[in-house]
Structure 1
Amino acid sequence: MDRNAQEVFSNMLIPEENIATMKYGAQVVKGQLKSALSDGDTQNYDLDHGFSRHLIDDDCSSGIEIKLCQPSTSNHIRIYSLSMDELDWIRVIDHSQYLGRSWQTLYLPAHVSRYIQIVGTHNTVNKIFQIVALECMFTNKTFTLEEGLIVPMENVATIADCASVIEGVSQSQNTLLNKDTKNYDWDSGYTCHQLGSGTIVVQPAQPYMIGSRWLLLWDCEDQSYSYHVEVSTNQQQWTIVAERTKVACKSWQSVTVERQPASFIRIVGTHNTANEVFHYVHFECPEQQSSQKEENSGELGTGDTSLASQQLDPHVLPGSNSYSAIQQHQ
């Protein structure tokens, strides 16, 4: 089929409705455990049921394929390939070089298609690609793509967006992402790591083009911190995007750089004028504007011009010393 001949097909367009469901006559025609993908259930799944799957092979010949009831226009889906006739496939999303988890919200230029193919290329645990749900629709929402990735306008480092803190120590795993920038003290409300031996890593659910980040360093006492920020698409190769190891930083920190792909954001504390632990309270990307941040504008910036020369004090909280601060949350 000529890829430029899509317009010869009459097509269905139902804005803001998921058409990849049994309600609209969609069916899974390729893959294992086919019935799970189109039943609309995104809650009841575990290690044994509630998902469709395929084996990951070297030539990417396997996959999961969904047939829509008729040719349909979509621009908001969780897929990798589209086709009208199962012969000529158009690759519309390629995340084979990125790691992702949980919900993947993908946008693309509008296409007419009847078949959707998802091809898993990598799993960090085994050679099986598993998918619980798929949504396919046409949306009137505006979106920006750069290098095939979404440029988010709203904070995507949230629990609601399935982001997760995968390294770092705290009483609750995703404390950094709970949007609470008020309720923290010496004992709770922050995430930390031992200077020289640990890091804090945030993983959004999917790769994004990100240019800004917003951090709140723990500031219940008058200490200063130094740190740097890195990004990665695969958790193997890291790029430093902000170097603040030579300045003393306090409270709110705005980190704005040229946009680049990021599946992981790593914050590495390098100095604390009070003790040997790096603590911070809140993280978001991209940076959002709010009245709360206006109120804290006096603390905003890249940090003081020089590090305070101060002896490490094991009695400065959080955590009376760096080791106990980490041990008490494990």
Structure 2
Amino acid sequence: MITVGVAGASGYAGGEALRLLLGHPDVEIGSLTASSNAGTLLGAHAPALAPLADRELVATRAEAFEGHQVVILALPHGASAALASALPTDTVVIDCGADFRLRDADAWAAFYDTEYAGSWPYGLPELVRADGTKQRSELVGSQRIAVPGCYPTAVSLALAPAFEGGLVQTDDVVVVAASGTSGAGKALKPHLLGSQVMGAMSPYGVGGGHRHSPEIEQNLTVAAGSPVTVSFTPTLAPMPRGILATCTAKLANGVDPQRVRAAYEKAYGTEAFVTLLPEGVWPHTGAVLGSNMVQVQVIVDEHAGRVVVVAAVDNLTKGTAGAAVQSMNLALGLPEGRGLPQAGIAP
């Protein structure tokens, strides 16, 4: 059995990681740590995790994970780097935060208020690159992995095949995506109160201000082989979890629209966790709830000369903790889908 510890176990991402690890046949759950919640029982914060309800949360320190083969970090941005540096080099460390996602130090400095810590292999196995290969080759056997952000997961998988195939222009990309409130974390915030959220939608991070913007551009640049510029507008939707991303890009000059769907069939035809829906069927956040799946649909708006791609993902599962477990499986040489649900929870 592989002993896996979780730092930040009382938060949404940490709790989702534990939910998945409880169903993993090769895993024994080790230390569970927290910051302000240290000394309390997990059940007080995550009552849905009944098998672990009586486990005490201990302080988040490196020594708590002594003897662990894997440590999953579900910490706020800026908090992972110090802990990761104190863990043994032969421990597989998987960071669900932002600390090691960006390859450009200037991009980090523009969006975050802590020192740049470097970059780790990026944990989005299905991401197609400009040379036609996929990101999973960088994850096999890796000791350090950066889990993607939830918005970048949906947007990157939505648009990467079009860029890899040279089907769209790199300077005219527009994304509008709606997320459930769990994407903002578990801390109490006035704008996330039920009375503020129920029956309403609102934008935030408008005008290129969202921290996932450079990550989205980084991923699409990898797919295109040249710089990609994205206008990204996130919105808050009255639901606890899920993302629906509507992504459009200008069709490249001279491209036959019939080539577009073929590119997506090629990219995702054999992927276990990305479903290219039948033509005319559109992604639905409820269909992926609790699963590690991404639903994708693509169409060409010939009147506007744009490719339109819609993707749905559960921001806590495939968008965070599911990607961590999937990356862990690849790092350890286990079957990639071990312990990961393909079926969602509906209604």
TM-score by length of 2: 0.24
Comparing both structures, which one devotes a greater share of its residues to helix? 2
Which structure's CA Rg is the greater one?
Answer: 1
Higher relative contact order (CA 8 A, sep 6+): 2
Comparing both structures, which one devotes a greater share of its residues to strand? 1
